[in-house]
Amino acid sequence: MAINADEFRAAMGSWPSGVTIITSKSGDQIHGMTVSDFSGASLDPPLALVCASKTSVTTGVIQEGECFGVNVLRADQSDLSNKFASKKDEFKRFEGVETFEGTTGAPLLSGALVNLDCRLTAVHEAGDHVLCVGQIEESHVRDGEPLVYFRGSYGGFEPAS
């Protein structure tokens, strides 16, 4: 017998993760959402993996536009994470947010710690989510510390001495 949704949330919430905003573009439509389920998937070729809800508008834009950006947030960007996580005004998420266009056409967040511009190469069914795999076409890495999410709260990262 499988665990229930509350047990799953409690277990996965105990796994500290970085916070990303996944962005995409299809035609004139851009969209984005906050995601903690992101991973590097392969070195050769360089692949990234994002787990996205089947019902998310952003997931549809990723599949239609065949691209996505992974924007790893800095420790001071929890407000941006909340903006892209909220369903309220979800079609206004990019208002006031500085972006630049990646090679694939995906909008990338200018102030992020890391940007990965990915061309969609595969989509796999996974329960109520899909696994979007993308080949990383371009990356930008900046100095700073990551935003961390753990048990429902944001925090920072303190390097070990």
SS (H, E, C) the chain: CCCCHHHHHHHHHCCCEECEEEEEEECCEEEEEEECCEEEEECCCCEEEEEEECCCHHHHHHHHHCEEEEEECECCCHHHHHHHHCCCCHHHCCCCCCEEECCCCCEEECCCCEEEEEEEEEEEEECCEEEEEEEEEEEEECCCCECEEECCEEECCCCCC
Specify the pLDDT at position 142. 97
Bond before 16 cis per omega within 30 degrees: no
pLDDT in tens, 62-110: 999 999 999 999 999 999 999 999 988 889 999 999 999 999 999 999 9
Token pair belonging to 29? 């439509």
CATH number of 17-151: 2.30.110.10
pTM: 0.93
Q: What are the sequence ranges of the domains in the chain?
A: 17-151
pLDDT in tens, 16-74: 889 999 999 999 999 999 998 899 999 999 999 999 999 999 999 999 999 999 999 99
pLDDT in tens, 128-155: 999 999 999 999 999 999 999 988 899 8
What is the chain's percent helix, strand, coil content, to nearest 5?
20, 45, 35
